[in-house]
Structure formats: structure tokens, C-alpha cells
Amino acid sequence: MSSKLTIENLHVRFDTGSETVHAVNGASFAIDPGEVVGVIGESGCGKSVTARSIVRLESPGDIVDGRIRYGDRELTTADDRTLRQLRGRELAMVFQDPSTTLNPVYPIGEQIAEALRIHRDPDRQPFFRELTRGLSSRLRSSSRRSDVLELMAAVGIPRPAARIDAYPHQFSGGMRQRAMLAVALARDPSVLIADEPTTALDTTTQAAILERLADLNADRGMGMLVISHDFGVVSTLCDRIVVMYDGVVVERGPTDELRSNPEHPYTKALLGCVPRRADSGSPLPTVAGTPPDTTAPPAGCAFVERCPFATDDCRETPPAVVDAGPDHTVRCDVSDAREASLEAMTTETPTGNGTGDMASQSQQMHPSSVAVDGGTGDPVSTGVAGDASNDDHEPIRPDEPVVELEGVAKSFRESDALVDRLLGTDDRMPAVRNVSLELRAGKTVGLVGESGCGKSTLASLVSGLEVPDEGTVRLRGRPVGGVGGRTSEQLADVGVVFQHPGGSLNPKRTVAESITEPLVEAGWSRSRRESRLEELCSLVGLPDGVGDRYPDQLSGGQRQRVAIARALALEPAVLVLDEPTAALDVSIQATVLNLLADLQAELGLAYLYVSHDLDAVRHVADRVAVMYCGRLVERGPAETTLTRPTHPYTQTLLDAVPGRNAELDERTLGAEPPSLADPPSGCAFHPRCPVATEECSQIDPDLEPTGNGCSRCLYAPEWRDESSAERPVDDDIA
Amino acid sequence: MLRPLLARLGSLSAVLVGVSMVTYGFVFLTPGDPAYTILREQRQSPPSESEVAAFRAEHGLDEPFLVQYSAWLTDALRGDLGMSYYQSEPVTSLVLAHLPNTLELALAATVVSLLLAVPTGVISAVHRDTWIDRTSQLVALLGVSMPNFWLGYLLILVVSLWLGLTPVGGAGTLAHLVLPAITLGTGMAAIVTRLVRASMLEVLEEAYVDTARSKGVRERLVVYKHALRNALIPVVTIVGLQFGFIINGAVVVEGVFQRPGLGTLLVDAVFARDYPIVQGVVLVTAVAFVLTNQLVDLAYVALDPRVDRGDRS
Amino acid sequence: MAALRPSTLVERGRTLLASRPLGRTNAAVRLGGAIAGVLVVFALVGPSVSPYDPTAQLLEARLEGPSLAHPLGTDALGRDIATRLAYGARVSLALAVAATLVRLVIGTTVGLLAATGGRLVDTVLMRLVDVQLAFPGLVLALVIAGVLGPSLRNVVIALSLVGWASYARVVRGSVLSIRERPFVRSAKLHGTPWHRLVRRHLLPHLVSPVLVLATLNVGTVVLAVAGLSYLGLGAQPPTPEWGTMIANGRNYLRAAPWIVTAPGVAIMLTVISFNLLGDGLRDALDPDHLEDRQRRRT
């Protein structure tokens, strides 16, 4: 029944009316029965479009050339009936964002049952009977019900009987993705296509889903195509990896081979940028130049502009596909490039002035270009210090923290309705409970935890966007309130960079207006603003002339540089960085992280770096604070905390990092983070904790010193030694 | 369950009190002394001092506003909307006598427009940017742009006068209902068509529609089971609001077709300054409108499981 | 050198337009604009070009069909319909624009106050909006105009009093959603006082939704003015007004159908043009919508 799936020379285009977007420009690869293949590449490389084209959901794009074969069937020309037979039964698909992929008006059970009904006979879908299904929330047929329950259990939904009639909005993200998986598996597909299946999820949930996928693959012997931007995710699951760049497959080969011996310059660059490879503190390798745009593909190699080994020949003629070993092919015929080391690839990239030239050059080439990350490499840093020795600010004594949080707590009203206040049903949900933390000049505190743990609220308490209900926030030793209650010097002392660079810039204001907004508020004169603007632009590595542009004319990386420049405008002592790279591709992330490191070294800034990405945190942070359920569960030096944690929760987070291949406890994976409104008794983590005892459900531990950090665990640090026999410490992170 | 109900009742009663105040209060917008103006228009000559005083006393217009208003409201709550100034009949029975014709017309128009609009909107969205879509869009644009009284006359001219198929005016039989229902339903149909189309276009872009396709669901079910059910959610609100549109239209269309109804009753009373009737009709329509929208909100809960069930996670 | 250039409105408009392909939507704006332009020219130039008096009765020329002398025929009092249409266009357009502007000002102010003035102000104002929306618009306008007495001025007052609530809702909703966007939070961090916050970050984002609403609204008001006049509450005879003209022609449906037809078509064209303009503007000014579509493609 299973057949080979072959994609040959696939071309997909989108016609947007004003321009033609070349999304896929000749992708070719194959999936053998039962094989797991990963497609990796950065945003815009055409990997998702390729995946969707296989099940013929490429619309609104058009397949303009190439073939997709499944067994002896040609899919690019298949009619609706053939597609109906194939979809779900042979080729099933799981999409990226589980918050939008399930129909909100039908119960989960019905959506799984529908897939089962179609499984029986795809050609017979009685219109009116189908139309009336799911109108009531209960799934009626009892035999169907047991099938659905079985599937829900198979994908790891706990207590399926209690959840079968629930609606998608009553599920968490991870549960929805499991439900989506159940829908996809309902018809026992031969190939499962998973398009960024875990990107929208927390790392712990991601780890659980990945493990489930691996198990399902083993149990059912189905083939899988996994699309991801994350090398860790792909290497966890896949037998073979396909690397895409600008709509073309540039390299493909077995996972281990590709990981140990990447040949294509782009693959090397991609692997080199990942923070976990680099020593913390050292600058991350970066890829020079600009990501490809979506206009017509170049005549030669698509990567030529960014490749240090490019020859004139590369520019003009399409590179040949070269065999690099058994089942390993590379689309690059320059042997120097293929043989160069990872380090050579990334350290030999042009930096400094070279990039500046590259950036301005590329702007001349694309006058209205939308996606140019001009800034890479070292920011120009000379001549800034002149103004930076700010007279307004008192010098910070080295022994005194710049920011000090002492026992801060913040809760939010669950409902804002008048009637709730009258009835006294005005429940409050604690987001941050009794947190103490210090930020010191020139040092970075990494704040980690799953989404909803309160880390962003804590960041808002530092920046003054929220005022604590209890406890004190001190800035340079003085207690401060919210934004409204801070003096202008105090406001100037804290800069904030938000997660989504697009959202944090007013789309109707130019870059220059956005960057200088704090200066206007501080009452700077126009000429002083202009010179400061120039300094800031060169400080963060923004190309000349960018000031007159609007945010939607910039790439993601450039926007984040603008946001950083604005945060730095008044020479703050502290930067609050709320997931500053979460929305960026790895290669762009690397340049932004390097920029932040350089700025800190130069300006002596204190950073509060909020992130769910432990690799990035390990790379940038001096100290780490781990949050769970509104409280700190562990605090300590980054190096030791993230290698030998004293709290089981931190260990769980570490084990969940994709690519670590750590064994995860069933208890941890099945459970979701508890609700903040109603935290579990005793230690909040005990329901998920692999080493929890009876006592843990009764005693709420304090944050006690252990070694050179603090831990909120009854058994810290002994649990680690007791369980280390079966849980080897994964010190080898590379 | 109790909390949303209480919140809803609270805001509902606030709105109804406001509505009744406005309804009663507009009498005082009358330039000069209402009693004087009313009598002058009634007699076509300036009334005497004592006649004005007698009129005021008879209709309680000599009391302060709040006293008058609370007396009127208390009566209204008991179902007594006062006496007409000119016809010696209670307003309540006048309203009740005219209500069935208007209700009949409103229902017929709503049915006509929904039957026309929903399929057209869906087909238009599914065949986006084809000639089917363009034609239906154009027709819908004409539909919203036509003054309904004018459309009424065109229909009378063609269907009644030239073709002789229906009576020119009056009420009572189905033949009397056809043209007014079409006249009134056209504008609403045009609006609903555009809304269904826009809503469908949005929903068809949703990821869960692709999920359904990737399951192998056939296209017709993808459209009508997975997309339309979601697309109708915003449409339901508008259909509720359209009830107001229907009442607006009835005021004019009933006149065009000389149908006795709340609309004609209201227009005549406005010109005669027969304020008790005006207040009565306005209060009834506004209350009906508010209550319809409450019903629509309830329908919303039935259609959209995400709303108001208090079990968000 | 990224200098702070004085960014004029024109410059900014050009940049914004350049960054967003208007594409097909442009056609709607152009067609709507063209029809509206023709109507405006008709209203401005028509009366001075026409040899006829719009109100003088000429009984020997009554109920004449369309001819070279009277391209749209004459009415029951022998008045040239084309001439009366041109005068009527002035009335309709002026009234519609006036009532729309008043609605816009009241509604935007109420919406802004509700969104920025604290919970009590918000609750009170939004209840007021609910009360206004609880009345079918034309019914309330009819009653207000009737009580005030039939006249065009009173029609404008009545239509202004009943139509502002939707602006208030749109403005309040937009402000509430924009206020949560990170760039506003970021501005708060710099200690931007609220009036500058409103001017710099909120108002620019309100221009498009309010402009679109107002454009579509002009059409609705044209219809309402015609409706009220048709009922006898607006323009009083012999003032030429489209709704009144239809009312005058209703008794001659069979004998002189052109009397009713011409003003109806005029009303329709006016409403169509503003609908096209409004829809086109919405597509052109709603970058989020376009971005969404773009994003889905990759």
C-alpha cells in the first residue's frame, strides 16, 4: 500500500497582482515508504509551500512546472476524486498553528470522527447527513465513539472520555496539536506531512509531541515529512534531511552525515549560527549578506551573494548537483566551498565595512525592497562614547545593583465586568508571586520558563508598564513605581525591546520618528536629535538612509535593530529584552545576539533577557532565573544552572530542548502547566515532577540557597544524585 | 451562568430606561410650548389661553417632566400607552391593530432576503473574481443603492400597472404582500449578500478549511459544513440589526403600497402631532428591536461555542 | 546619514502608497470617484447652464416625455426635470456631507472620550450609544424632524442626532485595540503624555476606518434625506429635491413614468459612487488585510 513519494523539479509561483512571487524554484527529493525526511530552511525558502503542494493545497499559488508522484499516480494533474482518495488515507497533513487548524465550532470528537467516516468511503459523503453532524456537542454513535477515544489516547490526550465533546478553544495548544494529529492519523496514512508541527508550542510541549511522532512512526511504520526551521527538531526525528534555500534544494543527505559533514556553504552557515554550538560569551558566527527575496531566481547559485567562496561562474551558471557520499548530494560545484570548515564559512564572512557596503549595494539593487537585513557583523562603535558619558545619570557603584526587585507580586483581575465587582466574584489571578531579582551593570540575567509562567509580567514590572501589588522595584537604589510615577531620568534609565519588532513600531511613523521618539519626550533639540539618530543607527548597524523608511519596508532583523536603537536612545542603564529574537530566523538571530553582546560590552548595560530559548539564554546570560507558575524556582549562574540544575523543572526544560535526545518522563510530558488562578498544593511543580514524593504535594518549599544558586525544591540538590543513575547529565551540548 | 445573565439584564434595563426617556422626551423638542403648537396645528388658528391650559391639564402636560415621564412609564408598563389626541381610541389598541400587517411584512421581507442572500453570498465567495461573483456583486451594489420607495414605484409600474399581476396597494392577501416584501427585502438582501461573501472569503482562508480538505472532505462539504457555519456567525448579528432596517423601510414602503401598518400609523401621527401615538409606536419598535438583538445574542451562543459559556481555557 | 527630514503629508502619502500595491481596488476608487465627480460638476454647473427655472410652472408643457428641449421630460407642473435634478443634486450632496460631518465629529469625540476617559465615562457613553442604536435610525429621525417641523435644516439635525453611534463604536474599538499594541506600550515607556499619545499613535490609525465609514455613510445619508423628503419632512415645495420629486411623480406613474425614474436613478448613482469609493478606500487603506494575505502565501 505504501509507495514512494517523489517530488521532481517543482516550481510554485504566486501571482499577487503587482508581482510574481517565486516560492519554489525546482525542488526535488523523495520519501521512501516508512522513511522520515526533514526539510529545513529559513522563512521564505519555500519549504511550507512545497509541503502543501504535495497534498495539492498550494492555492493561492500555482504549480507551474515539475512533478509530484505518489507510487504510479501523478498528483500535479490529479482530479478531485483521486485527491480525495489520497488525502488523509495515503497522505495526511498536520499544520503549524494548532490555534487555527481545528474548526472552532465543532467538538474535537466530531472532527476526528469525520475523518474516520471519510476513511470508510471517501466517495460517499452524504451531503445533508454530514451537514447535520456535530450540531449537538455530543458524539452519538457509540462504536465510532470508542474509535475516536482510542485515537485520542494514541496521540496522548489524557482522559479522552472527558474531552471528546470539548471544543478546540477548551484545549491548550499542545492538546490541540495532539487532536490535529489524531485527525491526521484517523485514516492510517502512509505518509504524514507535518509542517512546523511544534513551532507554536513551548519546548516542553514540543518535546512531548516530537516523542509522540517518533513513537507513532515506529508503531505504524508510516513515512513522515517534517518541515521545520529548527535543526534540532529535524535531527531528532529524521532519517534524512533536505536543506532548502530560495526555493531550491541545496543539499540533502542522511541526518548524521549532514550534521557531521555539511557540504553546502548555506548548510554550514545555518549550522554555525546556532547558539548552542558557540562558547557562551564569544560572538556567534553569522551569515553575511541578505536573505533571498522572492523575485525571479538568479541565473546562477541563489546563495552566491552571501557565499565567501563564490566565483564568477557561480553567478552565471546554475551549480551542478554533486555527490558527496552515499545518498548525500550537494548543489555546489566549488570544491573549496564544499571542503571548507564550518568556522571558515562563518568567520570568513565579510564584516564591518564590508557589510555596510553590501547593505547599501543591495538597496540600490532593490529600491523598494521589502526584505533586506542589511546590518550584520560588528556594529560601528567608534565615537559613540563621547556623548555616552551621560551627565544626567549618576555613576553606578559597582557593588550596587542597577535594578533590584524585592518580593514583588502582581495579580490581574480575571473579569473586568461591573457585575463581578458588585457580586464580589472578582477573582484575581496571580501572575507574579514574591519574586526577588537583581540586575547589575554589564551583566545579563536570563529569565526562562514556559509561556504563561509570568516572565513577561515580571519584565513589565521592571520597565514600569505594570506596578507591583506587593514588594518593591528599586532603580539605582531608589524605589520606583509605574511609568507614570518615574522621573524622566528614571524613564531614561530603562530601555525595552519587545518580542515582535513589527508590532513595537508604529507602522505609520518613519524609522527616524520611532527612534527619536524618546528624545522628543526628553525635550532634546532638533539638531541634537539628528546627530543622536545618526549615532544610534551606526551603533546598531542600520544602513544609511533607513531613517526615512517605514517599518513595513524593513526586514524583521532590521526592525529589531530599530527597536534596539530606540531603546538605547537615552542611554539607559538597563535593557529589558522580552524574547527579542523569538520572531527571527536563526541567522538573523545570531546577528542580533552579537549586536546585543557588543552593546553590553561597550556601554556597560544591564540586561534582563526574557526567553524560552535555553540555548540563546545560555549564550548571552551571566545568571539565570527560572520561573514556574509565577514564582522563581531556581536562580544561579548561567553556566552551572543550565548544566547541573538544582530544580527538576529546570532539568525538564533542558531535556526538552530539541536535539538533546534526552529521555523525558511520562508524567512531565502528559501534564500541562497548572492554571495560575488555582496552583497545585505544595510545590507547584509536583504533578509534573519526575522525582516528586508524597511530601511534595503538601509542603510548599522556599527558595533556599544551594551551592552557588538558590532552588525551590525540597530535595535540592540530592534528587539529582539519586536520579543521576538513570538520568545521565547531558553535559555534551554540542 | 448567573453572572453573564445578571450583567446582561443590567445593561438591558439601562438601555430600556434610556430608550423610554428619549421616546417620551422628544415631545419637549417641539419649538415653543407643545400644547400651544399642537392646538394651533389642530385648529389651524391660534388657540386661546384657556384652551391651552385645558389641553395641558387633560394630557398632564402641566406637570414637571419627571412626573409626567414616570406616570407615562408606569402606565406603559401596564400596557396603557395613553389616548390619541384626535382619534378617541387608546394608543395600545391602535398599535395592536396595525401591528400584524407590519409583522407580516417584516417576516416576509426577511425570509425573501435571506433566501436570496445566503446562497448568493456563498456562491460569490467560492467563485471569487469570476463573472458570477462580479455579477452578483454588481446586483448587490445596485440593491443597496436604490431608494426602496423608488423601487416600490418601479415594481408597481411594471408588475401591477403594465403586467397587471398584483394589486397596486392595500393589504390582506398574499398577492398584496409580494411586492412590498420584495421591495423591503431587496435592500436587506443586498447587504446580507455582501456580508456573507466577505465573511466566507475570510473563513475560506482559515487554516481549518485546509485541514478539512487535507482530510479528504469533499469540496461541497468543506464549503457548507466547515466554512459556512463559521461565516454565518457575524452574519447573525447583522440580521438582527437588519430588523431595524426593516422597520425603517416599513415606514416608507407601507406608504408606497398604501398598506395600513405601524409605519403609516407613525407617519400620519407625526404630521398630526398626535404625540401619544408617536410615543407608543416608537416605544414598541425600539423595545422590539432591543429584544430582537438580545435573541440574536442568544443565537450567537448557540452558533459559536467560544462565546459566553464561561469555560474558556 | 539617516537625517530627520521634515516629512510632509504629501511625502508620507507617497511613501505609504508606494509600499502598498493598490492593485484591483484602485478601479473601484476610480469609478466611484468618476461618478461622484460627474455628479458634483452636474450640481455646480448644471443650474447655470440650464435655460429653465427650476420652480417656475409652465402648465402648457406639463408631463412632456423626454425630448431635445427637455432631455428628461417635464413634471406635472411643466418644470424641466433635468434642471430640477441639477438643483436637487446641490441639496442632496450638501445635506449628506453636512449630516455626515456632524455625525463624524460627534461620534469620534464620544468614541475617543469613551476609550480614554476611564471606566465610568466609558460605561455612561457606551450606554448612550446603545440607546441611540436601540432606535431604528429612520424612525427616530422621522420623529425628531416631525417634532421640530418640516424643513431641510431639521432633517440635517435629525440625521445628525441618530447616526453618530456607529462612529463612536468604531473609534472606541480601534482605540482599545491600538492601545494594546506594543508600540503604544513602548511610547508609554518614554513618558509620552496621553494627549501626544493620542495625536501621534492613535489618531493616525483612526483616519482610515473613520474615513471609510464616512464615505459609505454619505450614501446612506443621501438615501435617508430622500426618504424623509419623500415623506414630506424635508424640502418643502417648490424646492427641487430628489425625494420630493419622486413623491410628486407617484400620481403620474402610468402617464409619466420618467418623473419618478430620473430622480431615482440620480439617487442610485450617488449612493453607488460613495459605496464604490468607500469599499475601494477600505481595501487601499487596510494594510493589515493585505499583509495577512501576503503572509499566508509563504
Residue range C93-138, pLDDT digits in tens: 899 999 999 999 999 999 999 988 888 888 889 888 988 888 888 8
Question: Is C18's Cβ below 8 Å from some Cβ in A?
Answer: yes
Question: Inter-chain contact B214–A80, Cβ cutoff 8 Å?
Answer: no
Q: Which residues of A are less than 8 Å from B12 in CB distance?
A: none
Tell me the three cell numbers of residue A702: 522556599
Tell me the three cell numbers of residue A446: 536570563
Q: Which residue has the cell 469613551?
A: C114
Question: Inter-chain contact A103–B224, Cβ cutoff 8 Å?
Answer: no
Question: Inter-chain contact C230–B282, Cβ cutoff 8 Å?
Answer: no
Question: Inter-chain contact C143–B278, Cβ cutoff 8 Å?
Answer: yes
The secondary structure element, H or E, covering residue A479 is strand A478-480
Tell me the three cell numbers of residue C30: 476610480
Low-confidence ranges of chain A (pLDDT < 70): 1-2, 16-18, 134-142, 276-281, 288-290, 293-294, 343-399, 414-427, 661-662, 664-671, 721-734
**Angle C257-285/B148-155 helices, nearest 10 degrees?**
140
What single string gives the DSSP state of each residue in A509-540? S-HHHHHHHHHHHTT--HHHHHHHHHHHHHHT
**Helix, strand, or coil here: B87?**
coil
> How many interchain CB pairs under 8 A, A with B?
112
- pTM given for the model: 0.82
Where are the CATH 3.40.50.300 domain residues in chain A? 400-620
Pairing of strands A5-15, A328-330: unpaired
Is C284's pLDDT higher than 80? no
Render pLDDT for B53-64 as a digit per residue (tens, 0 to 9): 888 887 777 778
Q: Which residues of B are less than 8 Å from C230 in CB distance?
A: 147, 149, 252
Best of B8, B20, B150 to disrupt the C interface (most C CBs within 10 Å) is B150
Q: If one looks up domain B98-312 in CATH, what number appears?
A: 1.10.3720.10
Among C1, C19, C296, the residue with its CB nearest the CB of A550 is C19
List CB contacts of A205: < 8 A, sequence separation 6 or more: A172, A173, A174, A177, A198, A672
**Helix, strand, or coil here: A410?**
strand
**In the complex, which subunits touch A with 3 or more CB pairs below 8 angstroms?**
B, C
Question: Is B282's Cβ below 8 Å from some Cβ in C?
Answer: yes
Q: What distance in Å separates the CA atoms of residue C208 and residue A308, rounded to the nearest whole number? A: 47
The number of residues making up chain A comes to 734
Is C189's pLDDT higher than 60? yes
Question: Is C68's Cβ below 8 Å from some Cβ in B?
Answer: no
Tell me the three cell numbers of residue A166: 470539548
Among B207, B221, B230, the residue with its CB nearest the CB of A95 is B207
Residue of C242, C258, C262, C265 whose CA lies nearest to C87: C242
Question: Inter-chain contact B11–C140, Cβ cutoff 8 Å?
Answer: no
Question: Inter-chain contact A80–B219, Cβ cutoff 8 Å?
Answer: yes
Query: What one-letter code names the amino acid at B64?
Result: P
Among A370, A463, A550, the residue with its CB nearest the CB of C189 is A463
Q: Which residue has the cell 514556574?
A: A628
Ranges of beta strands (E only) in A215-311 are 223-228, 240-245, 248-254
Answer yes or no: are the C-beta atoms of B209 and B72 closer than 8 Å: no
Question: Is C111's Cβ below 8 Å from some Cβ in B?
Answer: no
Among A21, A518, A553, the residue with its CB nearest the CB of C190 is A518
Among B15, B153, B270, the residue with its CB nearest the CB of C142 is B270
List phi, psi (to 5°) of A194.
-115, 110
Task: Tell me the CB-side half-sphere exposure of residue B74, using CA atoms within 13 A.
Answer: 6
Cα torsion at A105, A109, A110, A114 (round to 10°)? 130
Best of C1, C189, C196, C295 to disrupt the A interface (most A CBs within 10 Å) is C189
Among C130, C253, C269, the residue with its CB nearest the CB of B153 is C253
Domain positions in chain B are 16-78, 98-312
Q: Which fold has domain A400-620?
A: Rossmann fold (3.40.50)
pLDDT, position A140: 62
Query: How many beta carbons lie within 10 A of that of residue A602, not counting itself?
Result: 14
Q: What distance in Å separates the CA atoms of residue A184 and residue A116, rounded to the nearest whole number? A: 10
Q: Give me the percent of chain C exceeding a pLDDT of 90.
A: 11
Residue B212, min C-alpha distance to chain A (Å): 9
Q: Which residues of C are less than 8 Å from A516 in CB distance?
A: 4
Render pLDDT for B198-211 as a digit per residue (tens, 0 to 9): 889 889 888 899 99
Question: Inter-chain contact A130–B3, Cβ cutoff 8 Å?
Answer: no
Burial grade of A726 (CB within 10 A; 0-12, 13-18, 19 or more): exposed
Q: Which fold has domain C80-290?
A: MetI-like fold (1.10.3720)
Residue A683, min C-alpha distance to chain B (Å): 22
The secondary structure element, H or E, covering residue A119 is helix A108-120
Q: Which residues of C are less than 8 Å from A521 in CB distance?
A: 190-192, 196
Question: Inter-chain contact A57–B210, Cβ cutoff 8 Å?
Answer: yes
List phi, psi (to 5°) of C280.
-60, -45
Is C231's pLDDT higher than 50? yes
Render pLDDT for B266-311 as a digit per residue (tens, 0 to 9): 998 888 888 889 999 999 988 888 888 888 877 777 777 776 544 3
